[in-house]
Amino acid sequence: MPEMPKTFRPSYLPSRQEQQRQHDSRRDQSEQRGWYKTARWQKLKHRVHVRDLFRCQETGVLCSGKYPADDSPVADHIIEPDGDPSLFWDENNIRTVSKAYHDGERQRQQIAERGRGVGRKSRAPVR
């Protein structure tokens, strides 16, 4: 079967790989990303998992696996903190979901919300 011809990319534009590298570099420089690597976050995440009895709050699946299993527990912010420390550390703004839900449906929701221009202040936590 014949191959598709490569699309034209002007030489002054970065390649897809370079764009991805730039995105990763910017993302890793955000102060909020560092909060996930702290002992405080690990303790908070564990308290939330215990509070939720290691059950996915969306699907009801028991999250008994160990990362990277689909049934491993993930701490998910209900309202995205967007750099707001009070929202990031608020235990009532965090819920347990399965990795499968977080990496699938939750990511689709977040992308759709960003695409529609829905700001975090317009979203109310669902409990």
Query: What's the pLDDT tens digit per position in 75-116?
Result: 999 988 888 899 999 999 999 999 999 999 888 887 787 775
Collapsing DSSP to helix, strand or coil, 75 comes out as strand
Q: How far apart are alpha carbons 99 and 79 in whole angstroms?
A: 18
User: Which domain, by its residues, includes 100?
Assistant: 31-119
Residues facing residue 55 across a β-bridge: 62
Tell me whether residue 25 is in a domain.
no
Collapsing DSSP to helix, strand or coil, 85 comes out as helix
Q: How many domains does the chain have?
A: 1
Residue 51 sits at φ, ψ, to 5 deg, of -55, -40
pTM score above 0.75: no
Tell me whether residue 109 is in a domain.
yes
Tell me whether residue 14 is in a domain.
no
**Tokens 């903190």 map to which residue?**
81
Summarize pLDDT for 6-47 with one digit per residue, the tens: 777 777 888 888 888 877 776 666 667 778 889 999 999 999
Tell me whether residue 36 is in a domain.
yes
User: How many residues make up the chain in this entry?
Assistant: 127
Tell me whether residue 96 is in a domain.
yes
